[in-house]
Amino acid sequence: MVFYKLKIGQYDTEVSPLNPKKNEFEDCDKDGNVLVKNAGTYTKGTFYNKITGEEHTTAFKLIRGKAMAKLSKTKEVSNFKEVDVREQDDLIIEKEYLMKGDWLLKELKTTGKGLKFAYTSGNGYKVYFAYVKPHPIYTDYLSMVLGTTMKSELIEGLMKAEEEKAKVKTCIEAVGVDTAKVEDLLEL
């Protein structure tokens, strides 16, 4: 991650974006053989097996060594956890929903907790962390937010990167390596 300078009034600050992680899975046939996409220009693209040369019009994703079809939209959740409502603050929110549910709203207001579970919008392979809690503004509704990445994971990585950067800088100073200058790279 990189920090960019941002001056706010008289305050000098640095910012670094916290971008959600993306899970990328390989395309494969129904047997789990890896396929390469042959993108179409005016026609629909196809997939082919590099080893056999066999062509496929549809592909699956290779997840944990198995060929998997696209996910269906989450319509029912039986596996969920009751969590502190503040846990949601650690999530990088990618989607937000207004939710109705009088009984659940009453229950969560009484306990002061929130719910956490896995959710998918369907027709793909993206799975989100979902958090449900009473909406802070619209008190007759619940709020459901979705995201794939926790801020704490990225911040930990950022802190480790900063430590490594400091170590490298110390090594460079100890060895006496000069920083390149424009004049060194371009002769007029």
Q: What is the pLDDT of residues 40-57, one digit of tens each?
A: 667 778 888 888 888 888
Q: Is residue 92 part of a domain?
A: yes
In the prediction, which pLDDT does 72 show?
87
* 62 and 116 fall within a common domain: no
Greater pLDDT, 167 or 179: 167
Single residue among 68, 100, 117 that ends a domain in this structure: 68
**Cα–Cα distance measured from residue 167 to residue 163, given in angstroms and rounded to the nearest whole number:** 6
pLDDT in tens, 73-95: 888 888 899 999 999 999 999 98
Q: Is 129 exposed, middle or buried (0-12, 13-18, 19+ CB in 10 A)?
A: buried
Question: Domain tally for the chain?
Answer: 2
Helices (H), 17-123: 102-111
By residue range, what is the domain housing residue 30? Answer: 4-68
* 94 and 122 fall within a common domain: yes
Q: Tell me if 74 sits within 8 A of 97, measured CB to CB.
A: no
Greater pLDDT, 183 or 8: 183
